[in-house]
Structure 1
Amino acid sequence: MDWLLLPFEVSFVQRALAAGILVSLICALVGTWVVLRGMAFLGDAMSHGMLPGVAISSLLGGNLLVGAALSAGVMALGVTALSRSRRLSQDTTIGLLFVGMLATGVIIVSHSQSFAVDLTAFLFGDVLGVRAGDLLGLGIALAITIVASWLGYRSFVALAFDRRKAHTLGLRPDLADGLLLALVTLAIVASFHVVGTLLVFGLLIAPAATATLWAGRIPMIMLGAALLGSASTAIGLLVSWHLATAAGASIAAVAVAFFFLSALVRGLVRLVRRDAPSSTVHHDEEIEYAS
Structure 2
Amino acid sequence: MDWLVIPFEVSFVQRALVAGVLVSAVCALVGTWVVLRGMAFIGDAMSHGMLPGVALASLAGVNPLLGAALSAGAMALGVTALSRSRRLSQDTTIGLLFAGMLATGVIIVSHSQSFAVDLTGFLFGDVLAVGSGDLAGLAITLAVVAVVSLLGYRSFTALTFDARKAHTLGLRPGVANALLLMLVTLTIVASFRVVGTLLVFGLLVAPAAAATFWARRITTIMLLAALLGCLATLAGLVVSWHWGTAAGATIAAASVLLFFVSALLSAVRRRFLPTTTEIEHS
TM bracket (short chain): over 0.9
- Tell me the alpha carbon deviations over residues 250-288 of structure 1, each in whole angstroms, 9 at most, x when there is no partner: 000000000011111111222224xxxxxxxx412323x
1:110 maps to a residue whose letter is S
Match of 1:283 among 272, 275, 281: 275
Corresponding residue for 1:234? Answer: 234
Greater Cα radius of gyration, structure 1 or 2: 1
TM-score (norm 2): 0.98
Task: Please tell me whether the aligned partners of residues 19 and 127 of structure 1 are also in contact (alpha carbons under 8 angstroms).
Answer: yes
Corresponding residue for 1:156? Answer: 156
Corresponding residue for 1:49? Answer: 49
Q: Is the partner of 1:86 in helix, strand or coil?
A: coil
Alignment of 1:24-35 (within 5 A): 24-35=24-35
Task: Please tell me whether the aligned partners of residues 208 and 225 of structure 1 are also in contact (alpha carbons under 8 angstroms).
Answer: yes
Task: Please tell me whether the aligned partners of residues 55 and 105 of structure 1 are also in contact (alpha carbons under 8 angstroms).
Answer: yes
Task: Please tell me whether the aligned partners of residues 53 and 71 of structure 1 are also in contact (alpha carbons under 8 angstroms).
Answer: yes
State the Cα distance separating 1:50 from its structure 2 match. 0.3
- 2 CA distance for matches of 1:194 and 1:254? 15
Aligned pair count?
Answer: 282
State the Cα distance separating 1:195 from its structure 2 match. 2.4
- Tell me the alpha carbon deviations over residues 163-186 of structure 1, each in whole angstroms, 9 at most, x when there is no partner: 010011111111101111110111
- Tell me the alpha carbon deviations over residues 26-50 of structure 1, each in whole angstroms, 9 at most, x when there is no partner: 0000000000000000000001100
Corresponding residue for 1:84? Answer: 84
Corresponding residue for 2:21? Answer: 21
- Tell me the alpha carbon deviations over residues 211-238 of structure 1, each in whole angstroms, 9 at most, x when there is no partner: 0111010010000000000000000000
**Residues 1:104 and 2:104 are matched in the alignment:** yes
State the Cα distance separating 1:112 from its structure 2 match. 1.7
Q: Is the partner of 1:103 in helix, strand or coil?
A: helix
Corresponding residue for 2:202? Answer: 202
Corresponding residue for 2:132? Answer: 132
Superposed CA RMSD in Å reads 1.0
Task: Please tell me whether the aligned partners of residues 48 and 98 of structure 2 are also in contact (alpha carbons under 8 angstroms).
Answer: yes
For structure 2, which runs of at least 5 residues remain unmatched after alignment? none
- 2 CA distance for matches of 1:140 and 1:116? 30
Corresponding residue for 2:123? Answer: 123
- 2 CA distance for matches of 1:73 and 1:286? 34
1:78 maps to a residue whose letter is G
Task: Please tell me whether the aligned partners of residues 198 and 249 of structure 1 are also in contact (alpha carbons under 8 angstroms).
Answer: no
State the Cα distance separating 1:101 from its structure 2 match. 0.4
Corresponding residue for 1:279? Answer: none
- 1 CA distance for matches of 2:86 and 2:145? 32
Task: Please tell me whether the aligned partners of residues 216 and 277 of structure 2 are also in contact (alpha carbons under 8 angstroms).
Answer: no
For structure 1, which runs of at least 5 residues remain unmatched after alignment? 274-281
- 2 CA distance for matches of 1:260 and 1:193? 26
1:156 maps to a residue whose letter is F
Task: Please tell me whether the aligned partners of residues 109 and 118 of structure 1 are also in contact (alpha carbons under 8 angstroms).
Answer: no
- 2 CA distance for matches of 1:202 and 1:112? 29
1:96 maps to a residue whose letter is L
Corresponding residue for 2:187? Answer: 187
Task: Please tell me whether the aligned partners of residues 198 and 252 of structure 1 are also in contact (alpha carbons under 8 angstroms).
Answer: no
Corresponding residue for 2:74? Answer: 74
Corresponding residue for 2:219? Answer: 219
- 1 CA distance for matches of 2:110 and 2:213? 42
Corresponding residue for 1:169? Answer: 169
Corresponding residue for 2:145? Answer: 145
After superposing on structure 2, the runs of 4+ consecutive aligned residues of structure 1 that deviate more than 4 Å are none
Task: Please tell me whether the aligned partners of residues 15 and 128 of structure 2 are also in contact (alpha carbons under 8 angstroms).
Answer: yes
Corresponding residue for 1:276? Answer: none
1:235 maps to a residue whose letter is A
1:283 maps to a residue whose letter is T
